[in-house]
Structure 1
Amino acid sequence: MDYAEFSFQAMVVAAVVYLFAGAAHTVEWAAAKNATAEPPKKRRRVKVLVGAAGGRDEMGDEAGLEARAGDGGARRETENDRLRVDQFGRVGLAFTTVAFFVHLAAVVTRGLAADRAPWANMHEFTATSLALLVGAYLVMNLKWSMRWLGLFVALFSSIGLGLAVTVFYVDVSPLVPSLHSTWFMFHISAAMASGSAFTVGAIASVLYIVRERAERRGEVRGYLAKLPDSRAIDTFAYRCAAFAFPMFTFVIAAGAIWAQYAWGRYWGWDPKETWSLITWAVYAAYLHARSTAGWRGTPAAIISIIGGLLFWWNYVGINLFVQGLHSYAK
C-alpha cells in the first residue's frame, strides 16, 4: 500500500470514527434531559407534635417529612443520570481524539504522496482544514473544557471528510503552473486557519441563539443547562471572528499579490475574489458593530452565521458550480 492509498483509507476510517463520536455526543445530549437540576422543594406550614402538650406550627420541609427515603432515591437517580451523561460525553471525546490522529496521519501521508503541502485541491484543502479545526477544538477542550462543541465538531468533520473522499476526491497530481509560488504555503494555510475559526464561531453563534432563547423563556434544562451562559457563548463567537479576520484579510491581500504574478493583474473580479470580498465585508461589519455600536445578542449572532455560510459557499459552491480562474481547485 503506497502513501496515497493509505491516506485515502485513513480518511475513510477517520470519517467513520468521527461519526461514532457524533453518535456518542448525540446520546449525551438526549440523555441530559433526565439529568436536570432538581426543582426546589415546596415548603409549607405543618403541625409538629411536641411532647404531650399538643403541637406548634413550624415551617417544615414537605418532601422531607413525607418521603425522605423516596427523596434520597430520586437524588441518587438524578446523580446516576448525570454520570451517564458525562460518560457518553467522554466516549464522544475519546472517539474524536482517535479520529483526529488517524485524520492527521491521512493528511501527512497525502503530503508525502504528493511531495508537497497537501492543500492544492478541494480534497486536500478540506481534509487539512478539518484537521486544523478538530485539533484546535481538542486543544481548547484541554484548556477551557469545550466539550459542548463536541457534537457539532464531530458531525461536521465526518460529513466533510465523507465529501473529501467522494465528491472532492482527486488522484495525487503535480501542482498546476499558477500554484508554483512561495505564496502557495502562506495564502492557502491562512485561508484554512481562518476558515476553521469562522466555522467554530458560526457554530457557537447557533448555540448562542438557542441558549439565549431558552434563558428568556426560563426553559434552560437538559443539555442546554450544560452549555455556558449565553453571554459567554457570544463572547467566544466574537473572539473566533476577531482571531480569524486578520488572517482572512491577509488571504485576500496575499491572493492579490499572487494574482499579479500568476495572471498579470491584482484584482479581476473573479467569482472567488468577489465572494471573498463579500465575506470579508460581512465580518468587517460584524466586528465594527461589536466594537463601536456595542452590538450584542441575536442580530450579531445572525451576522456571524451568515459570514460562516458565505465562507463555505465561496469554497464549495463557487468551486463546484461557477467557472473561474480558481476552478483548478476542483
Structure 2
Amino acid sequence: MMNEFLFYWLALAAYVISSIGYISGLAFNKPDYKKIGRLLAMGGLVLHSIALVIRWYQVGHGPYISTYEILSSTAWMAVLLFVLLDWRQRNFTNLGALTLPLAFLMMGFALLGSREAKSLPPTLRSPWLVVHVVFAKLAVAALLVAVAMAVFFLSKQASRNGNSKNFLSRLPSTAVLDDYGYRLVVFGFICLTVMIISGAIWANNSWGQYWSWDSAQTWSLVVWLVYGLFLHGRITFHWQGSISAWYVIVAFFFSLVAFFVLPYFIKGLHSQYMVG
C-alpha cells in the first residue's frame, strides 16, 4: 500500500524549496529562481494531492475530520488557488514568496495533531457536509492569499519608494494589490456564506434543527460578521489602502483562532471530531 506520509513529506519539502525559490527570485530579481519556485509549487501540489487521495482511500472519507486532515487539505487548497492565480495573472508570481511559506507552516502545524484515522459517524455522512467543507476550505484559502496581498501592500507603502529598483518594486502596484485583495475577500465572504448555510441544512438533517448555537456555529457567524463589516466599510466608507490591508490581516488571524484554536478549549459538535 502506498505510504501517505511519504508523499506528504515530499510535498512539504517541495513547498519549502519552492518558498526559497520565490523569496530568492523576488529579493535578487532572478526570474529563473521564480520559475523553479513555480515548478516546485506545482510538483508539490501533485504530491500533496496524492497524499490526500491515499488518506481518503484509507480512512473512507474526505480529509476533513481531524485537525491534521483539516490543516493539510486547507494548505492544499491555498496552494491550488495561488497556482491558478499565478497562471491567470503572472504579475502575481511574487506572491508565492509569502503564500508558499504560509502553506508549509500550516502543513507543519498539521503534523502536531493526531494522524490517527477516524471513521465517519452516521451524522456526518451527508452530501451537505461535503458542500460545507469544500466552501470552508475555499474561504480560508482565498482569505490567506488576500493576506499575502495585504502584507505586500503594506510593505510597498511603507517603503515609500515604489519606483526604485529594490525588490518591492517588482511587486504589483499598490492599487492592483488592494483591488485583488478586495476581490479575494469578496469571494471568501461568499464561500463563508455558503459554508454557514450548507452547515445549517446539514445540522437540520442530522439533528433536527438548523441552528443550535454550537460553539463552531457561533464563531463561524462571528467571523462572517467580521468580514461583512469589512465589506460594509469598503462599500459605504470607502475603506482602502492601509486601513483595508490591516483589517484583512487581523481578521484572518482572528479567523484562524476561531476555526483552529478555540475548538481545543470550547467543546462542541465540531471539536469532538477535529481535536485529538
Question: TM above 0.5, one fold?
Answer: yes
Q: Does 1:157 align with 2:103?
A: yes
Identity of aligned residues (%): 25
Tell me the residue number matched to 1:147: 93
Q: Equivalent residues in 2 for 1:306-321 (5 A)?
A: 306-321=250-265
The answer (yes or no) to whether the contact 2:16–2:100 under 8 Å persists in 1 is: yes
Tell me the residue number matched to 2:77: 132
Which of the pair has more CA radius of gyration?
1
1:26, CA displacement in angstroms? 2.6
SS at match of 2:62: coil
Tell me the residue number matched to 1:53: none
Q: Equivalent residues in 2 for 1:52-63 (5 A)?
A: none
Of residues 136, 140, 159, the one that matches 1:214 is 159
Q: Taking structure 1 as reference, are residues 171 and 304 closer, same or farther at Cα in structure 2, changes over 3 Å only?
A: same
1:92, CA displacement in angstroms? 1.6
Q: Please, what TM-score do these two structures have when normalized by structure 1? A: 0.77
Q: Which string of whole-angstrom CA distances, capped at 9 and with x for unpartnered residues, describes residues 198-241 of structure 1?
A: 111122111111112223x6674421010011011000100001
Q: Does 1:26 align with 2:20?
A: no
1:289, CA displacement in angstroms? 1.6
The answer (yes or no) to whether the contact 2:75–2:141 under 8 Å persists in 1 is: yes
SS at match of 1:213: helix
SS at match of 1:27: helix
Q: In the alignment, residue 125 of structure 2 is paired with which amino acid? A: H
Matches of 1:229 and 1:297, distance apart in 2: 12
Tell me the residue number matched to 1:173: 118
Q: Which string of whole-angstrom CA distances, capped at 9 and with x for unpartnered residues, describes residues 144-180 of structure 1?
A: 112111111221121112222x212322231123312
Of residues 207, 211, 215, the one that matches 1:267 is 211
1:296, CA displacement in angstroms? 0.9
Where does the alignment leave 5 or more consecutive residues of structure 2 unmatched?
none
SS at match of 1:105: helix
Matches of 1:198 and 1:30, distance apart in 2: 25
SS at match of 2:239: coil
Tell me the residue number matched to 1:35: none
Matches of 1:177 and 1:319, distance apart in 2: 21
Q: Which string of whole-angstrom CA distances, capped at 9 and with x for unpartnered residues, describes residues 17-69 of structure 1?
A: 1111112223223324xxxxxxxxxxxxxxxxxxxxxxxxxxxxxxxxxxxxx
Q: Equivalent residues in 2 for 1:27-106 (5 A)?
A: 27-32=24-29, 85-106=30-51
Structure holding more strand per residue:
1
Q: Does 1:247 align with 2:178?
A: no
Q: Does 1:16 align with 2:13?
A: yes
1:279, CA displacement in angstroms? 1.0
Number of matched residues? 273
Matches of 1:125 and 1:109, distance apart in 2: 15
Tell me the residue number matched to 1:283: 227
Tell me the residue number matched to 2:266: 322
Q: Taking structure 1 as reference, are residues 170 and 177 closer, same or farther at Cα in structure 2, changes over 3 Å only?
A: farther
Where does the alignment leave 5 or more consecutive residues of structure 1 unmatched?
33-84
Q: In the alignment, residue 22 of structure 1 is paired with which amino acid? A: S
Q: In the alignment, residue 292 of structure 1 is paired with which amino acid? A: T
Matches of 1:180 and 1:278, distance apart in 2: 26
